[in-house]
Structure 1
Amino acid sequence: MSWQCDLACWILRRSMRPKTAEPGIDVDYVRARTSRRVWLPRVPKGFTLEMQKSPITGEWLNANAQVTIFYLHGGGYYFCSPRTHRAITFGLATRARANVFALEYRLAPEHRFPAAVDDAVAAYRMLLARGTSHDRIVIAGDSAGGGLALATLLALRDHGDSLPAGAVLFSPWTDLTCSGASMQTNEGRDPMFHAQVFPIVARQYLGDADAKHPYASPLFGDLENLPPIHIQVGDTELLLDDSTRIAEKAHIDLQVWRDVPHIFQIWAPFMPEARRALTQAARFIEKITARR
């Protein structure tokens, strides 16, 4: 583990993890704090950054490339935005030589399940309507956004849409019942969270919906006939089993990284592990979108 990774874990243990032991969530506080703390990387050379307001809200990082990454940010379905995740989207774009559309989907608790899924499906169809071929699109996401990306694949398949070339998922939250064994075995090892926060966040998003609905928890869905999927997750994460159990059910390229924090890719370019992870994800994207 690099000293940068060690420092990131130290910061998270002292600044974020204690908050996840509290009995409730102050949504406004979390959103405000995240907005203040975000570090914004420079727009990469050769790219333009544009905000899109309608018909779908999000931001474009555009280099007139042939491949488009459709990105869904994490944040427990209730905070963060395309802006907070630019370290990941910019890093993927430059490494994969791809455009990125990062969706600003509706957030809970104002907009509960299935609002985020509906928004993601509509955004994907917008990309197709703009003339992007389905086999030149890769859907990607982290944490809740990773689970949302997988849920979107299921919804698109079920509705008969042409599927993207594949998916890249960083520590996806695929089980909103929070039943993975790593919720217990990695309690105290995960530098970012205490396990008790996940059921609280899940219920805030779900409302009265069934946590086992496949568009909420893709782990419980039919994973047949999906395109190639690449997953990266840390071995000390509470969400580790949300990735390993998905990999057991489907043919997935799974990478388990040692001693890294949840969505460590967001620490790029500071953390060497994050840089390497984004490079490997970009290679996967290049491979599945290459014309035969």
Structure 2
Amino acid sequence: MSWQSALACWIVRRRLRPETAKPVIDVARARAYAARRVWAPKVPAGWRLTEHYAARDLPLRGEWLTPDTVAAKQATILYLHGGGYYFCSPRSHRSVVFPLATLARARAFSLDYRLAPEHRFPCALDDAVAAYRRLLADGIPARSIAIAGDSAGGGLALAMLHALRDASDPLPACAVLFSPWTDLASTGASIVTNDGRDPMFHGAALARAAKLYLGDADPKNPGASPLYGRFDDLPPLLIQAGDTEVLLDDSVRVAEKARAAGVIVDLEIWRNVPHCFQLCAPFMPEANRALARAAAFIRETTSGKAPHRLPETSIV
């Protein structure tokens, strides 16, 4: 465990975890906190950032990060940010999108999907599916697209794969999921066993956030909780999660179900890191290594090669 990870865990335990003990989620406060605390890295040299937030930009509302020199076979990352479906934005997640794109040598689009409670399930899923279909309509081959997301965005990415497969759409080359939230019914054992170990969340906070997004919808609807969906015929998955997370079992159970369905899954469980630690790049060495591994996975799968099979579960 690096001192940077120890410091990050101490900060989130002190500043963020107490908020998750409150019986009611203050959406406005969460959004204001994220906007105030956001650290926006500089656009990497040789790359350009373009923001698309006009009505005419729909369904690709968000941010493009594009290299000045486009390769002949340029991969594209469609990134879905986390934030419990009710806060955060492409801007708040530049610290993970920028290094992932540059390391993968891929252009990236970070989607600004609609947020709850103003726009409850299935709005986020509808926006993600529409954005992916626009990429295809714009001539980007499915085999050159990687889907990536963290926390709620990781669950949304997996739910989108299910929806696309069920609709017989061409599927992307792969998906990269950082600490995905895949079970809004909160049935994972780690919600209890890691309650107190997780530096960011109280386990009970997950059900409150789920209700905010779902309203009266079934928490086991695969469109919201992809853990309960079918996993056959999905593309290769890379999942990274921390061993102390209350959401750990959301990753472990997805990996088990996907492997049982014949899907190639690399599950990496990282020791003593906070939830979605990849957002701590470049400060945290563990985040830098995790993003490098994710970028290598994206390069490999979008190149048309079968991904190298790692051990079923890696403890990092």
With the shorter chain as reference, the TM-score category is: over 0.9
Return the letter of the residue paired with 1:247. A
The residue aligned with 1:189 is 197
Return the letter of the residue paired with 2:268. Q
Secondary structure in 1 matching 2:209: helix
How far the C-alpha of 1:279 sits from its partner, in A, is: 0.1
Gaps of at least 5 residues in structure 2 are: 260-264, 306-316
Secondary structure in 2 matching 1:99: strand
The residue aligned with 1:265 is 278
The residue aligned with 2:154 is 146
Residue-by-residue CA offset, 1:142-187 (whole Å, 9 max, x unaligned): 0000000000000000111000001000000000001100000000
How high is the TM-score relative to the length of structure 2? 0.91
Secondary structure in 2 matching 1:250: helix
The residue aligned with 2:241 is 233
Residue-by-residue CA offset, 1:248-291 (whole Å, 9 max, x unaligned): 11131100000100000000000000000000000100110114
Match of 2:174 among 166, 186, 209: 166
Distance in 2, matches of 1:108 and 1:96, equals: 31
Return the letter of the residue paired with 2:104. A
Secondary structure in 1 matching 2:85: coil
The CA RMSD measured in Å over matched residues stands at 0.7
How far the C-alpha of 1:46 sits from its partner, in A, is: 1.3
Residue-by-residue CA offset, 1:59-111 (whole Å, 9 max, x unaligned): 00011351000000000000000000001100101100000000000000000
Secondary structure in 2 matching 1:178: coil
**Residue pairs, 1:104-143, within 5 angstroms:** 104-143=112-151
Secondary structure in 1 matching 2:51: strand
The residue aligned with 1:256 is 269
Report whether the alignment pairs 1:95 with 2:108: no
The residue aligned with 1:41 is 41
Distance in 2, matches of 1:129 and 1:41, equals: 31
The residue aligned with 1:26 is 26
Report whether the alignment pairs 1:276 with 2:282: no
State the identity %.
64
Match of 1:285 among 298, 308, 311: 298
How far the C-alpha of 1:55 sits from its partner, in A, is: 2.0
The residue aligned with 1:55 is 58
Return the letter of the residue paired with 2:130. A
Distance in 2, matches of 1:114 and 1:234, equals: 28
**Residue pairs, 1:62-73, within 5 angstroms:** 62-63=66-67, 64-65=70-71, 66-73=74-81
Return the letter of the residue paired with 2:4. Q
Distance in 1, matches of 2:167 and 2:254, equals: 22
Return the letter of the residue paired with 2:122. P
Consecutive aligned runs of 4 or more in structure 1 exceeding 3 Å deviation: none
The residue aligned with 1:216 is 224
Secondary structure in 2 matching 1:108: coil
Secondary structure in 1 matching 2:172: coil
Return the letter of the residue paired with 2:85. Y
The residue aligned with 1:13 is 13
Distance in 2, matches of 1:24 and 1:243, equals: 26
Distance in 1, matches of 2:20 and 2:303, equals: 42
